[in-house]
Each structure stands twice: as C-alpha cells, then as structure tokens.
C-alpha cells in the first residue's frame, strides 16, 4: 500500500519532481494555486479539493 494524504492540507507544498506520487491516496486533500505538482499530474482527477482564498474552513458551529 502507498502513502496517504487523504484529507491532508497540502496547500503551498511543492511536489514537482517527486517520485511515487502516482500511488498516493490524495482523496479529499486540500491544495491551492501555490501547490506545485509534476507536469501531467491532475489533482482534481485524484480527488483533491482546490481551496479558494475566500473559503472559510471553520467547522460548522465553531
């Protein structure tokens, strides 16, 4: 089994040139426009969620 970033906050991370990202579980991981991926990697196809600057991550009722 590969690594898991399921539900992780990877905003701003640089995954360019990182080997093995194909076998990673990315489902529900947050990324933003500053997050860098290798050419051809499609974060939305992997189930990742694009975080927009105007979004509020405060839990409901919190």
Closest by CA position to 43, among listed 17, 19, 22, 59: 22
Q: Domains of the chain: which residue ranges?
A: 1-52
pTM recorded for the entire structure: 0.78
Residue with the bigger pLDDT between 44 and 2: it is: 44
User: pLDDT for 30-57, tens place per residue?
Assistant: 999 999 999 889 999 999 999 987 656 6
> Residue 61: what pLDDT?
67
Sign of the torsion angle spanned by Cα atoms 57, 59, 60, 62: negative
CB 5 within 8 A of CB 26: yes
DSSP class per residue in 1-62: ---B-TT-B-TT-B-TT-TTGGGSB-TT-EE-TT-B--TT--TTTTT-EEPPTT---PPTT-
């Amino acid at each position: 089994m590969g690594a898991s970033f399921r539900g992780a906050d990877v905003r701003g991370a640089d995954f360019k040139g990182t080997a093995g990202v194909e076998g990673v579980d990315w489902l529900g991981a947050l990324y933003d426009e500053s997050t860098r991926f290798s050419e051809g990697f499609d974060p939305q196809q992997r189930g990742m969620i694009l975080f927009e600057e105007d979004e509020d991550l405060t839990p409901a009722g919190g």
